[in-house]
Structure 1
Amino acid sequence: MTVKLFATAAVLAGLSAMTAQAGQIERACLSSDRPGVTRGLCGCIQHAADITLTRGDQSRAAGFFRDPHQAQVVRQSDRRRDAEFWRRYKLFGETAAAYCS
């Protein structure tokens, strides 16, 4: 009984810590002026980002919420690093669309 109680408390503490700290994508999503933005939707998008993007990628992608034109610049770039990022970013978008719509 004590072990179950301890395990449950540990899981709840972990969930509380996760919800208390919004990720970069979630914060950028919540601060955007797009219609239909909710905490639940932005949290779901953050989860998709956690699955598919590194922290550095998330930081870069969060900037697209502020300046969407930068996404186009990266997409059209001839740099290998940008092309690799764009492949991961597309996977993130597909994942978010599948999970969050």
Structure 2
Amino acid sequence: MTKPYLAGAFIGLAISLTAGLASAGPIERACNRSGSNNANRATCSCIQQVADSTLRGSYQRRAAKLMNDPDLAHEVWISKRESDDEFWEHYKAFGDAAAAYCG
């Protein structure tokens, strides 16, 4: 009789863990993949929460690319395109907020 309950509990746990991973946003996924010593699940989740409140979806995807590509980040930073300047301002504000909130 306890085996079905144990199996049910295990399946419930597996589903909840999988759902948490599936719902991770682009910033959280990039953070977790970064290999940084400071990147852990709690910190990456916190950073994603800040991104959700400060960056729209397309900016989140773009910021995620920059997190692991310093050369691309530098290209955007020195770009003279207005769209890059606008993105960079949002990206800087996101970074400042994430540092303050998740620090």
- TM score, norm. by length of structure 2: 0.77
- Determine helix, strand or coil for the equivalent of 1:92: helix
Residue 64 of structure 1: how far off its partner (Å): 1.2
Which residue of the other structure, out of 43, 55, 58, is the alignment partner of 1:56?
Answer: 58
- Aligned positions, number: 85
Which residue of the other structure, out of 33, 36, 47, is the alignment partner of 1:34?
Answer: 36
- Determine helix, strand or coil for the equivalent of 1:78: coil
Q: String of CA shifts for 1:44-98, please: whole Å, max 9, x gaps.
A: 0001111111100000010012312111110110000000000000010011001
Q: 2:63 & 2:80 partners in 1: Cα distance?
A: 18
Which residue of the other structure, out of 25, 28, 34, is the alignment partner of 2:27?
Answer: 25
Identity of aligned residues (%): 48
Q: 2:59 & 2:47 partners in 1: Cα distance?
A: 14
State which structure, 1 or 2, has the greater radius of gyration over its C-alpha atoms: 2
Q: CA RMSD in A?
A: 1.4
Q: 1:24 & 1:71 partners in 2: Cα distance?
A: 16
Specify the code of the residue in structure 2 equivalent to 1:61: A
- Determine helix, strand or coil for the equivalent of 1:49: helix
Consecutive unaligned residues of structure 2, counting only runs of 5 or more, are 1-15
- TM score, norm. by length of structure 1: 0.79
